[in-house]
Amino acid sequence: MFTGLVEKTQSDRDAAMRAMFRARKEVFVDLLKWDLPVLDGRFELDQFDNPDASYLILVDEDGAHRASARLLRTDQPHLLGDIYPHLCAGPVPTGPHIREITRFCLDRHQSALSRRIARDQLVTALCTYALSAGISEYTGVAETSWFDQVRRFGWECKALGPAVRVEGRWLVGLHILIDEETPDRLRRGGVYETASLALHAPAARELVQ
């Protein structure tokens, strides 16, 4: 397996983006019943899918979507800072070296084992990308059940404040520290697994119109 980020053709990147937006709709709208905007009945996009967003997308040998995550700059509008600042007991962490992880999506068309492997590979990719791009911290918003999983991966992860009930869901703001020791921490946590993936940040809405 390749441990870095794979360069794809523009056509491959565009196809991967469309597949990711379809997968997000299937997971977050169809399965989890989140009230989110859907474009053309097929693609889940919101106001944060803009040219400032970037995406890590895990694909198989045929280019099919397996897992993905959206990364938002925290010195630009983002979920924690603009919609859920009340999840932070103190100031919302922001800065050029901090990214917010959003839309962590595991494709539904996989076995439970394949989803687990894809999850571990995406977590590893987040670590690998951060170290290569000078990102020292991640933030995010998670339901408490998912936060409990995330903090057991091995990396340094903590809650930014107490859980808050929002529209029937208990949410928590989370903070993850990334440094040179993080890969070894993930290995000890049993989730470090490399994979091939693509990184790109096009103007997302132009791809699906």
Token pair for 121? 């590979």
In the chain, % of residues over pLDDT 90: 79
Rg (CA), the chain: 16
Residue-wise pLDDT tens digits, 74-103: 999 999 999 999 999 999 999 999 999 999
Q: Hunting for tokens 């529209």 — which residue is that?
A: 167
Query: Domains in the chain, start-ordered, CATH in brackets?
Result: 10-207 (3.40.630.30)
**What is the rounded distance in angstroms from the CA atom of residue 119 to the CA atom of residue 105?**
9
Which amino acid type is present at position 67?
A: A
* Cβ pair 201, 7 in contact under 8 A: no
- Summarised one tens digit per residue, pLDDT across range 129-144 is 999 999 999 999 999 9
Which DSSP helix (H) or strand (E) runs through 124?
helix 112-133
